[in-house]
Structure 1
Amino acid sequence: MRGKTVIITGGASGIGKAAAGLFADAGANLIISDIDKLQGDLLVEEIFSKGGIATFYKTDVANPQQMEALVQYAVDTYGKLDIAVNNAGIGGEQNTITEMSLEGWQKIISINLSSVFYGMKYQIAAMLKNGGGSVVNISSILGAVGFASSAGYSAAKHGIIGLTQTAALEYSAQNIRVNAVGPGFIYTPLLNALDAKMKNQLIAMHPIGRLGKSAEVAELILWLGSEKASFVTGSYYPIDGGYLSK
């Protein structure tokens, strides 16, 4: 990864933060994007303290102009873009379809799905100028199955897989790989709002008997971004403790 430029959206916490740590340890030049500037700046300081290279760029991923500006910032700062991890997302409103608000639906589609399209639109354009690159989109196990009261989330995560496969077909011949990761339920800030009963119910859904760790997902993201995965494109990789095997 030494000399590679990497953008990670939603990079200040959870899976994005874990991935940032691995890419930094591997020698990448990082652009950490998030709406949380305080946590983003703290992570940059942490990476620098360990000898890594990183900068923070505040971005609302649901805003296409800000996503374009993020990519331009990466190119202006490090001269190119090699790898992009589209990780930012929210849990969103949990309701049945008939009860879900229109605002709730639009918000989750904007942040979890449209943002990935905006990201790839500008990231891939920059990578083409650089002769290739790798995009890793963070979907979910709910990109493969439904989940009651999560219509918006599930629809968005299904959509990410379709976008990933389409982009892979369009750009693989130009040395750009595009893949998706489907985490199961992972210990991240998104789960902090759940009570102990709900967390235990989620654990029971995973045959491995526990929830996942951000660091475990980050290892897969790092591999997909690297040249070790040079023949991998258009793929969807669940990392779910057996959830989808039921």
Structure 2
Amino acid sequence: MSEIRVEYDLLPKGSEGRVVVIAGGANGIGEALVNLFYRSGAHVYFSDWDTVKGTKLEGELKSSSSSGHGSVRFSQADARDYAAQLAVFDAAYKEHGIVDHAVFTVGISDPPGWMSGNSLNLETVKKLPVPLDDVLDINLKGCLYFSRIAIAYMKEGFVPNIDSTGAGTRKSLTLLSSANGFHSAPGLYAYAASKSGIIGMLRSFSPISVQNLGIRVNVVCPTATDTKMVANARDFLIAMNAPLSTAEGCGKIIQQLVLDPRHHGKVVLVMSDRGWDIEEGLNRTRHQWMDDEAATILEETQVKMGPNTDWAAIHT
């Protein structure tokens, strides 16, 4: 795996004047990102369903003296609400005429016991697990909503270049998945499924996003991060000497991916405030773990079909 190294001189310079939309920006990693971009001089439009924390964060940042020439605006939005997410992008675009970067950091975990354990039996199984719908709708459907809207606003003015490799492409879409999206996560059935879906979305979008739309796309997969989401498990993780990232440390790696035009199509594991691209290793060793013949057939088929094949159109 290749390590993603944070270039501390790039973060403030590359952020200055950029228009950044962040979903889930009032808490955890999203909150750290709002702080990092705003203090680096970006124009930050962030949303969250937590109105109290979002409003408080906006006020604190506006009253601080370390904003550079940036600005910040909070909007209440549930990731499941398409119109609310759209309104955040529309506000940014109307004020600045451009959206440079979009980052989705929203995520909730499984309700305990819905798939296994003593609470699941022949009586409880008859009840529809409504919290399960929330996990999938917020984590995955909300991400797809966000991505669709982001693409529409960021591709404005782009002239397609079929020979583009992604180098130098400024605009970016960055999505927060989880290490549980590719690594075993006992008990986190819906969470792991939703986060795996985000990685699948990257693999479908990245082959065409630069050439056709001028947008780089990357996914970030943190292990446990010291935020409210894992607060109840914090002591257990520390006792186990498990890798634990800080929200700011993870945020700096995300900021590097957002700003550095060399990064595209990457799935980045973040662990103890360090990041590694796992997608590069999977692609490089495909003929070993898949089987040489099978890998060759798939690769030759993809070459014949070309990067712009619309599989959805073919299926229908």
Q: TM-score, normalised by structure 2?
A: 0.70
Work out whether 1:203 is the aligned partner of 2:262: no
Work out whether 1:105 is the aligned partner of 2:132: yes
2: CA distance, partners of 1:104 / 1:69: 26
Contact kept in structure 1, 2:224 and 2:243, CA below 8 Å: no
| Number of residue pairs matched by the alignment | 236
Contact kept in structure 1, 2:46 and 2:88, CA below 8 Å: no
Partner of 2:103: 85
Work out whether 1:117 is the aligned partner of 2:150: no
Secondary structure of 1:146 counterpart: coil
Alpha-carbon offset, residue 63 of structure 1 = 1.6
Alpha-carbon offset, residue 155 of structure 1 = 0.3
1: CA distance, partners of 2:208 / 2:83: 23
1:145-179 per-position Cα deviation (integer Å, ceiling 9, x unaligned): 23121101000111111112222122111320010
2: CA distance, partners of 1:167 / 1:44: 33
Alpha-carbon offset, residue 74 of structure 1 = 1.8
Give the residue type in structure 1 aligned to 2:261.
S
1:74-115 per-position Cα deviation (integer Å, ceiling 9, x unaligned): 212332211011001112313352548531221100001111
Contact kept in structure 2, 1:96 and 1:151, CA below 8 Å: no
1: CA distance, partners of 2:150 / 2:267: 19
Work out whether 1:230 is the aligned partner of 2:261: yes
1:57-83 per-position Cα deviation (integer Å, ceiling 9, x unaligned): 111111222222222122123322110
Q: Rg bigger for which structure?
A: 2
Work out whether 1:182 is the aligned partner of 2:221: yes
Secondary structure of 1:162 counterpart: helix
Query: Using a 3 Å threshold, how does the CA distance of structure 1 residues 130 and 97 change in structure 2: closer, same or farther?
Result: farther
Counting only pairs closer than 5 Å after superposition, residues 1-246 of structure 1 correspond to structure 2 as 1-48=15-62, 49-50=64-65, 51=67, 52-95=70-113, 97=115, 99=120, 102-131=129-158, 133-173=171-211, 174-192=213-231, 194=232, 198-203=233-238, 209-226=242-259, 229-241=260-272
Query: Using a 3 Å threshold, how does the CA distance of structure 1 residues 126 and 155 change in structure 2: closer, same or farther?
Result: same
Alpha-carbon offset, residue 23 of structure 1 = 0.7
Give the residue type in structure 1 aligned to 2:265.
G
| Unaligned residue ranges in structure 2 (runs of 5+) | 1-14, 159-169, 279-316
1: CA distance, partners of 2:113 / 2:271: 24
